[in-house]
Structure 1
Amino acid sequence: MRLKRNGSYTLNRKSKGKPNGKKPAPEEKKLYLEPEYTKSRITDFEFKELVMLPREIDLNEWLASNTTTFFHHINLQYSTISEFCTGESCQTMAVCNTQYYWYDERGKKIKCTAPQYVDFVMSSVQKLVTDEDVFPTKYGKEFPNSFESLVKKICKYLFHVLAHIYSSHFKETLALELHGHLNTLYTHFILFIREFNLVDPKETTIMDDLTEVLCTSSGSSSNGSGNGSSGSSSGNSAAAQNHVKER
């Protein structure tokens, strides 16, 4: 079964002490962890059920449909704060104290600003999801053997973008009253990548504090590990099947 791929949401280390003996600067308080904000969602739906593979759907079709949808929503979410994410305000692609670098097609490491990094991510993902040889939409067209590895790479980069929004632009998101949308998107995305082991847990550790708060109450185990099995279709619900029909 070919799934229509489009969106379904409505957008309404501590530093070491210096030799001079001065104490290190206190770690900045993470606003996005404040209970009054983490409780905000645009839906109370059980996302753990929503990400499970429906019995009648091919695994690659499910990965393709969801990955494409997440790409569009994360791109849209970033666009709401993009005017605040500039080369001056975000001189590196950073999340907390971790800095990310882009690697070009030859594997060359590129240090870039956050907006440049996000542009690289969105441009490369857009190219992949619109390539019929990679994300086929026509009946009978096969997915490439490298499909799952490409999905994993896409999800890793999309996670970086989401984490950067929280780390560097949550105040702007809050001012726009879009934190409920961001929390909902993050929860759905994290539970999806856990369900199919799409991103190395070491990669997402940097946001474990937020994940613990948002995802534990959304059907995820508290130790941060999903079942990682594509054979979870035996637990399909009518809700998950309805989700397929909406795409």
Structure 2
Amino acid sequence: MSFFNSIGRSMSRNPRGPKRSPTPTSTTFPDMPPPPVPASPSSPAPSKPLYLCSPFVEAALVKGNFKTIVVLPKYVDIMEWVAVNVFDFYTNLNEFYGVISECCTQQSCPTMAAGTNLNYTWINQDRKSVNLAAPTYIDYVMTWVQNLLDDENVFPTKSGHDFPQTFPSTIKHVYRQLLRVFAHIYHAHYPQILHLRSEPHFNSLFAHFLAFGREYELLDIKDVKGAANAPVGIGMLWDRWREMGILEG
């Protein structure tokens, strides 16, 4: 279903109820270090990330294909469905990051790394790309999304207030930034997730996020996988879960 082609259908809708979670429960920039030097051909191959190793890659709260829990329910407005799910993804991801945030510091994570050769950059108010330490980057993302969620002009909750025409585009930007937070946690902090024995919860949340994003065209595969010379670590997880039948292409 194309979310971007359906916005006209939401201009007349019932009053919005309280937000509920559809997820299965359970401008001062620091100086950055120089970029990492690529490994020489003689260097040993890096070990496989823990999140790709068994049994962690199979750990989940929900078994089967996540397609079944992202399909638009009958009689539910698509804008409401997308809004409540995005609210839920943000809330749960923010809670996970809050738990491991003590391990994500300016010293331990001086860049927003999501792969061996990939560091995300932030676009500042001057439209310039700048490097940020991961905790600063993530704080910017979470604050920005929270402000959007609190804005009645973006996420209306009152009767008679409709979603703006720019809502699909805004959500796609939100999705891209939340994906980057997921990618950093998997790349840099999955051992902490394992230490907390939370890998089934985190994997399920991420698989749900990916499946929902693909179902409503909020997520580009190129964002999941990255470029050939700078792949996103979780791109391999996407492929593995597709092989396992958890996700669709």
TM-score range, shorter chain: 0.7 to 0.9
1:6 and 1:83, CA in 2 relative to 1: closer, same or farther beyond 3 A?
Answer: farther
Whole-Å separation in 1 of the counterparts to 2:78 and 2:194: 36
Map 1:18-97; keep pairs closer than 5 Å. Answer: 23-44=42-63, 46-96=65-115, 97=117
Question: What is the distance in 1 between the residues matched to 2:244 and 2:45?
Answer: 30
Q: Secondary structure at the match of 1:35?
A: coil
**Using the alignment, how far apart are the partners of 1:216 and 1:61 within structure 2?**
31
Shift of 1:199: 1.8
CA distance in 1, matches of 2:17, 2:237: 31
Give CA-to-partner distance per residue, 1:136-185, whole Å, 9 cap, x none.
01122111111101100001000001111110001111111111111110
Letter in 2 for 1:140: G
Aligned to 2:238: 211
Is the partner of 1:99 in helix, strand or coil? strand
What's 1:109 paired with? Answer: 129
Alignment of structure 1 residues 1-247 onto 2, 5 Å: 1=14, 2-7=16-21, 8-11=23-26, 15=38, 17=40, 23-44=42-63, 46-96=65-115, 97-205=117-225, 206=232, 207-217=234-244, 219-221=246-248, 224=249
User: Are the counterparts in 2 of residues 33 and 210 from structure 1 also a CA contact under 8 Å?
Assistant: yes
Alpha-carbon distance in structure 1 between the residues aligned to 2:88 and 2:242: 20
Q: Give per-residue Cα distances to partners, 1:103-125, cap 9 Å, x unaligned.
A: 12442322110000000000000
SS in 2 for 1:112: coil
Measured against aligned partners, the alpha-carbon deviations of 1:169-213 in whole angstroms (never above 9, x if no partner) come to 011111111111111101100000000111221010122211122
- TM (norm. structure 2) is 0.80
Q: 1:106 to 1:6 in 2, by over 3 A?
A: farther
The CA distance in 1 between the partners of 2:243 and 2:209, in whole Å, is 14
Q: Distance in 2 between matches of 1:16 and 1:168?
A: 19
Unaligned runs of 5+ in 1: 225-247
Change (3 A) 1:91 1:28: farther
Letter in 1 for 2:111: T
The separation in 2 between residues aligned to 1:151 and 1:215, in whole angstroms, is 24
**Unpaired segments ≥5 residues, structure 2:** 1-13, 27-36, 226-231
**Secondary structure of the corresponding residue to residue 88 of structure 2:** helix
Q: Which amino acid aligns with 2:239?
A: E
1-side partners of 2:214 and 2:18: how far apart?
23
Query: Would you say the 8 A contact 1:93–1:114 is kept in 2?
Result: yes
Q: What is the root-mean-square deviation of aligned Cα atoms in Å?
A: 2.0
Instruction: Write the letter of the residue equivalent to 1:119.
Output: D
Secondary structure of the residue that 2:163 maps to in structure 1? coil
Bigger mean CA offset, 146-155 vs 43-52? 43-52
Q: Structure 1: how far apart are the matches of 2:136 and 2:202?
A: 21
SS of aligned partner of 2:113: strand
AA partner of residue 170 (structure 1): Y
